[in-house]
Structure 1
């Protein structure tokens, strides 16, 4: 489905974000916004992933990753990279990778 205004962004969230259901909440939030992508824990204690969808929804998700997260998490900072416009979505849904 090609659409104007689709974008993709990679993210990495630093802080107390593992063992606090951060991935579960991220997946739920992404699906609630109608976004696609993935989330996973890294070996160095952060959570990383990619999100794709309409630019305005991606901006909402970025703000959520930066400030909300899961109820028990503590977000020190969120780093976003490789933000770009895309012509179509590369994923079917929002998933947790292991």
Structure 2
């Protein structure tokens, strides 16, 4: 699964109209389509945050999706990515929606 680029992990937080518009469900679906693992959840301050892990090129695809696409009814004003790093092994077994 690693490919030539290796595995990477990144934390993210997305701001805008991202709660109450199925953003978490669409994020989970897109991450699974890309073969990524991790999690996504709503925050108490109206954002969505999570972590994605997998082949670096696929993680970058999800980052672009989080920046520009999201769920059909969402309006993304900002997507921040932190703790981007190479990892030796995946720390999750699937991509979960956390409460």
TM-score, shorter chain, exceeding 0.5:
yes
Structure 2: where are the runs of 5+ without partners? none
Q: 1:2 to 1:26 in 2, by over 3 A?
A: closer
What is the alpha-carbon root mean square deviation over aligned residues? 1.3
Number of corresponding residues: 98
Query: What TM-score do you get using the length of structure 2 for normalisation?
Result: 0.95
Q: Offset at 1:5?
A: 1.1
Structure 1: where are the runs of 5+ without partners? none
Q: Offset at 1:2?
A: 7.0
Query: What TM-score do you get using the length of structure 1 for normalisation?
Result: 0.96
Contact 1:2–1:87, Cα closer than 8 Å, also in 2:
no
* Runs of 4 or more consecutive aligned structure 1 residues displaced over 2 Å after TM superposition: 1-4
1:37-52 → structure 2 map (5 Å cutoff): 37-52=38-53
